[in-house]
Amino acid sequence: MDLVKRLEEYRDRERELLWEGTFAQYFEIASKRPEVARLSHERIYHMIMDAGVETTRTGEHRYNFFSQEIFGIEKPLQQIVDYFHSAAQRLEVRKRILLLMGPVGGGKSTIVALLKRGMEAYSRTPVGAVYAIKDCPMHEEPLHLIPMELRPDVEREFGLYIEGELCPHCRYMVDTKYEGRIEDVPVKRITFSEKYRTGIGTFTPSDPKTQDISELVGGIDLSTIGEVGSESDPRAYRFDGELNIANRGIMEFVEILKCLSGDTLLFTSNGIRRLDSFASPDQPAGMSRDIQLSLASSVGVETATKLFYAGKSKTRRLVTRRGFTQEGTPEHRVQIVNQDGVLIWRRHDELQPGDWLVLQKGQNLWGQDVELRWTPQRAELAQRIRVPERMTPDLARWLGYMVAEGDIRPDGTVRFTSSEDELRDDFASLTEQVFGIIPRRNRHTIQLNSVSLADFALYIGFQSGACNKEIPWSVLQSSHACMVEFLSGYFAGDGTVTAKGRLSWTTASETLAKQLQVVLLNMGVVARRTRVQARSAQMKEPGSYWVVAADGVDADMLAKQMPLRPLSKQLAYETRTNGVARSGRADLIPNTAGYWATISQELQQVTIAKTQAAGSSHAVDYTGAQQILGEDYRNLHMLRTGTNSCTRDMARKMLGKLDGWVETPPGLNALLNPSLFYDEIVALEDGEAECWDFHVPGSHTFIANGIVNHNCDEKFLYVLLTLSQEQNIKTGRFSMIYADEVVVSHTNEHEYQAFVGNKKSEALQDRIILVKVPYNLRVSDEVKIYEKLLKQSALKNVHIAPYTLRIASIFAVLTRLEPSKKAGMSLMKKLKLYDGEDMEDFKQKDVRELQEEAVREGMDGISPRYVINRLSNALVKQNVTCINPIDALRALRDGLDQHTSITREERERYLNFINEARKEYDEMAKKEVQRAFVYSYEESARTLLNNYLDNVEAYCNKTKLRDPITDEEMEPDEHLMRSIEEQIGVSENAKRSFREEILIRISSLARKGQTFDYTSHERLKEAIEKKLFADLRDVVKITTSTRTPDKEQLRKINEVVNRLMTEHGYCHVCANEILQYVGSLLNR
């Protein structure tokens, strides 16, 4: 490539885009080419259509504009195109926000990015050319210069539709500089660019203290007021808000960041971290910096991309009944359950005591054991101890003992005190194993003197003093194994087993108590943190301490993960819980009376209808309901009236009995999510603190101190809705300013339901055009998604074996499908039908009925982002040169433990889907090896088919065959026909009907001028393939499974490997792996 020549060509193309002239010259262009004056929606519609449209065999339109990036969601894309088509006709629909709603990772952001990039490219083409008044900060349409009185004549004579008024900047310029001579006003061609903020706007987060309308519509430039004399002068205003610069083009609305105090704890892939631990000392207040961090969100593990620092801010601190706390700016939003039982978002300054806060448990997100890079201050003394290179379970338990009953003095004295021989022995043993030091043993004390060990303990996070103690940072950021050993050591010293089997810790440190409560939450254990006042004989003033306790099933869950020490505490726990029914203390589901009232009413209607349908003349009260619910009928009455509180177990029991009678309200289903629990706010306090926040693309949520947090503020949405409805924006001291731009946003279903459930948003909902963007449900399109994402990566030296992406896609699509009520329709059959395959009992004509039956299909399940993340983990492992379908399934399975948004039941279901996908691969692998063993597979299949058909025709017509060599007449070969038919379970009694069905199919195809081959009949195709493989089974089995192949077997293996590599896309590694795998299958 001649780079210099290419650069010159590039500059020539750029110069062609730099047209400038007067308005008179522009009007001449516009009168000949009216398309240059299109409005924004019309421009986008033509941009999409100009790229080309294809019609699929099912009659769907496929738009080339999206076809290289978006796969398998033709219906939402058609709705988007229909929206732009209607808006292009200047119908009322253009005065609406386009909202894309769907699951995380479903393609919403990609669609918006395509529209923005497309606008950039389209404006550089002759047909997509855009012109604007020169130096206008809003890139204004030059036709706005034409006075209102003349516009009807211009439209009638030249066909130019003109909408909108001049902005204050251009009005001032025309009146003062050109004295009304609009024909002399300069005009230039512009190209849309997000980078240069021309015609494409994206609302980005800023400092919550100053984040106001100026972010969207600009603000006063104080430095110019002295020159121009008035704030009302357009020259004193900066028209640089995102809505200003997006005029004539497209505006994307991105969620807004709000902030939390620095001591907030987050669950991350680097362990449990304080929010301010990610701060950079050179990051100024009000600024964001890039970051890549995997953390827990409301939908699982997501990646934060920006860290925002707000500086010292006014805050509001909330406290719940169980002792959970959070401190954040007044604008920061958390999720609560409102009085109607709907999950909604509410700002900190709108919270009230009595509100039910939403928390998440069981994230189980831990770090790797941290490396300890301690540099001793006195190297000669450090040589006397063994310094661990990383955190280990033994070191963690040693720290647990120290936090419980240990102390370190400035002179290097390290001391652990306990009356339990078992604990003293364990501490002494750990000290020797970890540090190589043999401590001194006293009656109740283990003691040693080491300045280096004291310095090292300080480095890894140990704090002396009862009120100062905390969980060391080195433990918080390490693995689950290290954490449970730390808790075990800490419980051994400061823990108690109560008479009712409660497990609790006691500490004088509030920080330690808060940390402990959040750590237990990560393990799925909900604990209560309470403050206890106490007065001792030695204390002149009352003191206080903190108790963190886990009850019932939470205590049992903790005991399963954490070894109980010493043995006396373990025995006490077992004795006090053995045979005792344990329940959950965090099981309350708030504000559900409305749901139960709806269920009760529907149940009554159903039972009445059934009684009337049966012809009964007796009055129906609740007789049917009583028969269905039995002793729980009274509970239903208590729940619907709000007399009794609803617990998770009670709700599940009741709904189980009502299954098949009434549908569970979606809102109640959302509340029953087992990863969520609810706690009542009991106190709110104002304060001030240093505040930080993350930007998390995708769900725009994260879990902090166990609480579900969001970063969106309604007031900015109101501004955008007003723009969309009125096509005007309010800027500074000026009147309403016309703006022509497409406003598009995107969200997930959970957020949308919360928005709909918020009564404040009722007036806004009819101003939104909602397009549901579900996950793709076609396996072949899912493969294209992964191929696209992998091509964008830098991976060049790792081979992906055939069928790897297809098997991963089968698993992903299975998780998204809803079971059908049709008899005989399994999820796997449904998957294949959606992908264009005909089944034995179902054809493509059944697809529409299946889709109509499952209205929410594709809104749940595994996202492409999860699959590609798991595949990426497998691809980047050391010494990996190739991954196969089994590697992919193993990676997908292993990642489910880290997927915090799925329930235990969902995890089991997903594991079953992995098994289903593996069974599919088993069949694929067998066929693949079979094809490689048979040199000409298609020819062999055709020969076998023709032989079978000749015999079937003779059998059905009751004629004989003629031997091609001896020319003798022969009876049809019953053995051959049955050997094929038995492969698919055709019984002796059913053979005639099956054979006649084949002849009917042959005749039907012949009338249409088509030829019957072995793929024309799905069951016969399966039978032919199985017969071919059965004939080869022993050969393949012996050849692939022998450990010491002879010369002939080795030759055959090499031939098959070479054929797999040259004809089927395998590399040497995966070709040998599939041979070994098929061999193992055949030997089972």
Yes or no: is domain 379-577 CATH 3.40.50.2300?
A: no
Q: Are 796 and 852 in contact (CB under 8 A)?
A: no
Provide the 10 A C-beta neighbour count for residue 830: 26
Residue 943's CB: how many other CB atoms inside 10 A? 12
Burial of 860 (0-12, 13-18, 19+ CB in 10 A): middle
H-type alpha helices, 199-263? 214-217, 222-228, 242-245
Q: What angle do CA 566, 567, 570 make, to 5 degrees?
A: 100
Q: How far apart are CA 773 and CA 490, in angstroms?
A: 49
d(CA 61, CA 56): 6
In one letter, which amino acid is 1034?
D
Length of the chain: 1084
pTM for the predicted model, two decimal places: 0.62
CB environment 468-485: b (16+ within 10 A), e (fewer): ebbbbbbbbbbbeebbbb
User: What is residue 156's predicted lDDT score, i.e. its pLDDT?
Assistant: 93
Contacts of 683 (CB under 8 A, 6+ apart): 318, 319, 353
DSSP letter (8 states) at residue 56: -
| Beta bridge pairs of residue 701 | 710
Nearest to 489 by CA among 580, 392, 411, 577: 392
Cβ proximity of 506 and 513 under 8 Å: no
Using alpha carbons only, give the angle 69, 74, 75 rounded to the nearest 5 degrees. 140
- Residue 717 has what pLDDT? 55
Cβ–Cβ under 8 Å, residues 676 and 706: no
Distance CA 755, CA 763 (A): 11
Q: Which residues make Cβ contacts (< 8 Å) with residue 491, sequence separation at least 6?
A: 400, 404, 503, 505, 562, 564, 565, 569
Asked if 769 contacts 85 with a C-beta cutoff of 8 angstroms, the reply is no
Distances (CA, A) of 181 to 23, 145, 158, 167, 175: 10, 10, 21, 17, 9
pLDDT of residue 548: 97
Residue limits of CATH 3.10.28.10 in the chain: 379-577
The pair phi, psi for residue 919, each rounded to 5°, is -60, -40
Vertex 753 angle, CA 749 and 757, to 5° = 170
Q: How far apart are CA 824 and CA 743, in angstroms?
A: 46
Is residue 563 within 8 A of residue 488, CB to CB? The reply is yes
Q: Amino acid identity of 65?
A: F
Rounded to whole angstroms, the Cα distance separating 48 from 58 reads: 21
Q: Residue 626, exposed/middle/buried by CB under 10 A (0-12, 13-18, 19+)?
A: middle
The H or E element that residue 808 is part of is: helix 804-816
DSSP 6-29: HHHHHHHHHHHT--EEEHHHHHHH
- What is d(CA 291, CA 378) in angstroms, rounded to the nearest whole number? 36
Give the β-pairing of 742-747 and 406-408: unpaired
pLDDT of 210 reads: 40
Q: SS3 of 347, please?
A: strand
Fill in the DSSP letter of residue 234.
Answer: G
- Of 397, 527, 406, 538, the C-alpha closest to 466 is 406
Tell me how far apart the alpha carbons of residues 166 and 174 are, in angstroms, rounded to a whole number.
10
pLDDT of residue 212: 55
- Cα dihedral across residues 476, 477, 480, 484: positive or negative: negative
DSSP-derived letter for residue 55 is E
Reading the block at residue 984, the tokens are 């698919």
Q: DSSP states of 584-595 as a string?
A: -SS-EE-S-HHH
- Cβ neighbours around 685 below 10 Å, total: 11
Sign (positive/negative) of CA torsion 68, 73, 77, 78? positive
HSE-CB of 708 using CA atoms within 13 angstroms: 27
922-931 burial, b at 16+ Cβ within 10 Å, e below that, comes to eebbbbbbbb
- Provide the CATH topology of domain 260-361+691-711: Endonuclease - Pi-scei; Chain A, domain 1 (2.170.16)
Rounded-to-integer distance, Cα 472 and Cα 461, Å: 4
Which DSSP category does 622 fall into?
Answer: S
Q: What is the DSSP string of 190-207?
A: E--BTTTTBSEEEE----
Question: Are 666 and 71 spatial neighbours (Cβ–Cβ below 8 Å)?
Answer: no
3-state helix, strand, coil in the chain (%, to 5): 45, 20, 35
Peptide bond into 566 cis (omega under 30): yes
Report the percentage of the chain scoring pLDDT > 90.
51
d(CA 367, CA 898): 11
Query: Residue ranges of the chain with pLDDT lower than 50?
Result: 205-211, 256-257, 536-541, 617, 619-622, 712-714
Closest to 543 measured CA to CA, from 585, 593, 509, 496: 509
Residues of the chain with CATH 3.40.50.300: 6-253+720-768
Distance of CA 208 to the CA centre of its chain: 26
Q: What's the CATH class of domain 6-253+720-768?
A: alpha beta
Task: Give the CA radius of gyration of the chain.
Answer: 36
Cα–Cα separations (whole angstroms), residue 173 to 135, 730, 1043: 10, 20, 88
3-state secondary structure of 265: strand
Alpha-helical regions (H) of 480-631: 480-494, 510-522, 552-561, 567-577, 593-613, 623-629
Q: Torsion angle of alpha carbons 656, 660, 666, 672, nearest 10°?
A: 10
Q: Directed axis angle between helix 1018-1041 and helix 937-957, to 10°? A: 130
> What is the C-alpha separation between 828 and 921, in angstroms, rounded?
13
